[in-house]
Amino acid sequence: MPLDSPSLIVGNWKMYKTREEALDYINELAEKVKGTSNEVVLAVPFTILYSAAKAAKKTPQIKISAQNMNDAKEGAFTGEIAAKMLTDAGARYVILGHSERRRYFGETNEFINHKVKRALKEGLIPILCIGESKEENESGKREEVLRAEILEGLADVHLKDGKELILAYEPIWAIGTGVHAGGKEAEEAHSFIREVLKEKFGDEIASHIKILYGGSVNPGNTKELLTGKNVNGLLVGGSSLDVNTFDHIINFNKQVNE
């Protein structure tokens, strides 16, 4: 996408930060993002959701996301969190289908699909993660894997507006490895994803669905990754934990223009 177009930058904190650490971070970040045209979302642990959402209210550029949820409306599911609990705590988004959930907790496309539908029903914007493994990439199965994860993950999903859904392409081989897709490779994958979304939802809705790139994102590769017209933002892991590093990613276009 053009360098002067607003991007959506999502920081996924995973299992890091206490409430006090989170509040200090958000207060510092609020000063740094004043005047930025980019949108910022922080995906924080469940224990921090309410406090983070309350702290972020005074900064329009910052919104809060959860990192996961259960697919049931409510029930006897010890240790689980329902979508309506997330919205009640102040979350606007929820990450679903992250490769760590698929790999470590055995989440299937079918289960993730149930979560997507529940999130939409409860007024949350799902950030649906998809991506192929190193073996799948090297054997030429990337598009096959992405198509299945998109169509199965979005089965029976009907959108009134493309802004109700976000996709995040996170090649598994790039997550936490220090290796990332180049700008050209990221755009190729995102372009394919856009075509599958058009098949599913039609051109109008698909054109408004933001597709993020994730996987070893850092200040040094931000500009390259965001040059693709179908790369509408970034899902940032480890580099979002330090407020100064994350600031350099968020404000990459401001720095380029300067």
Tens of pLDDT, residues 175-190: 766 666 788 889 999 9
41-58: per-residue pLDDT in tens?
999 999 999 999 999 999
pLDDT of residue 109: 98
Mean pLDDT across the stretch 155-167? Answer: 96
pTM, 2 dp: 0.94
pLDDT(6) > 90 = no
Contact 237, 10 (CB under 8 A): no
> What's the pLDDT at 4?
45
CA distances from 108 to 6, 130, 176, 191 (A): 33, 12, 22, 24
Cα dihedral angle (222, 224, 227, 229), rounded to 10 degrees? -90
Task: Extract the annotated binding site for substrate.
Answer: 12-14, 176, 216, 237-238
The pLDDT, as a whole number, for residue 5 is 63
Measured distance CA(237)–CA(91) in Å, rounded: 18
In this predicted model, what pLDDT tens digit does every residue of 14-45 receive, in sequence order?
A: 999 999 999 999 999 999 999 888 999 999 99
Q: Which domains does the chain have, with CATH numbers?
A: 8-257 (3.20.20.70)
Verify whether residue 98 is a known catalytic residue. Answer: yes
Separation of alpha carbons 107 and 252, rounded Å: 34
Residues making up the binding site: 12-14, 176, 216, 237-238
Question: Maximum distance among all alpha carbons in the chain?
Answer: 55
Catalytic residue of the set 39, 136, 170, 187? 170
